Structure formats: C-alpha cells, structure tokens
Amino acid sequence: MEIYNYLKSLHLIFVITWFAGLFYIVRLFVYQVEAADKPSPEKEILQAQYKIMAYRLWYIITWPSAILASFFAFWMLFFTEIGNAWLQMSWMHVKLGFVFLLYLYHAKCHQIFKQLQNDQVKYSNNFMRLWNEGATIILFAVVFLVVLKNAFNWIYGVVGIFLFSILIMLGFKFYKRIREKNK
C-alpha cells in the first residue's frame, strides 16, 4: 500500500504538469498563428521567439510529463493489487477511454507543433482557441470519474460533459464577438 501511494502521488504530479503543458502549448499555437499575420520584421521576431518557447515547453515539460504520468499509471494499474482491482471496474474503463482521447489530443498537438515549427500555418487562431478547450473537457471528465467512481451516474455524466462542451462553445463565440468588437 505504501508504494501505491508514492506511485499515485508521482502520477498526479506528472498529470498536472502534462495538462499544464497541453494548455500552454495551444496558447502558444494561437500566438504563432497570429504572428504569421504581422508585418515584417515583427512577424519574424515573434515567430522565432514563439518557436523557441514552444520547443522548450513541448520537449522539456509536456512530453516528459506525458511519459512519466503514463509510466506511473501503468505501474499502478498492472503491478499493484489496487490497480488490478480497479481494472475490473467499469468507471476505470470509461476513464481509460478518456485517457486514450488525451493521447490522441496530445498526438494532434504534436502534429500542429511540428507544422508551426516549419512555418506551416494550417489552422486559424479561432480554431486554436477552440482546440485549447479539448484538454479542458477531457480533464473534467477524468477528474469526475476518478472522484465519483461507481457513484457516478453515467447518463448524467455524459449529459454533463455535453452541456459543459456547449457552454465552452458559447463562451468561445461570446469572447470572439467581444474581441472583434474591440478591434
């Protein structure tokens, strides 16, 4: 049991730093996309700085955190009695489904990161702002699943995630109108 608590603590620390990296990298994507529309020399100066910031964040914080969070999670799940018991519970299967979505989200962020490092701007800043909410939705779903476990009412939970997503979309549209109005 003692080792399990250490593993869980390390897992949580690296999950937090992983999400921090995911939240900030997409914010840097927004800035990189906006910098592409600036006149020279401002464009080149900003792009160079954002590339350095994104590179350091991605490879020094985000990727190592993702790997370590996964390492400690696998260790807990497959090499401890508690983890083996949790693998039998339905809430854990749903959680692991959201974790799989998080891996897909991370992979897509990596693809966007590589494109922007090569000066390929394929998405708008509005897309990036909306994309930034993907990690938030996954985080909410996973936290509620872990905290509520079997007491979680699946129907209300699924409806709640959809309502939360709709609220984020509405907030995004509202914020976009304010930004356009203030230009």
Binding-site residues from annotation for heme: 11, 95
Residue 158: both structure tokens together: 């699924």
Residue 121: both structure tokens together: 């701007």
Which residues are part of a known binding site? Answer: 11, 95
To the nearest 10 degrees (0 to 180), the angle between helices 2-35 and 63-79 is 150
Distance CA 70, CA 133 (A): 22
- Are 56 and 21 in contact by the 8 Å Cβ rule? The answer is no
């922007």: which residue's tokens?
116
DSSP-derived 3-state class of residue 183: coil
Number of H helices, E strands in the chain: 7, 0
Nearest alpha-carbon partner for 21 in 49, 70, 51, 56: 56
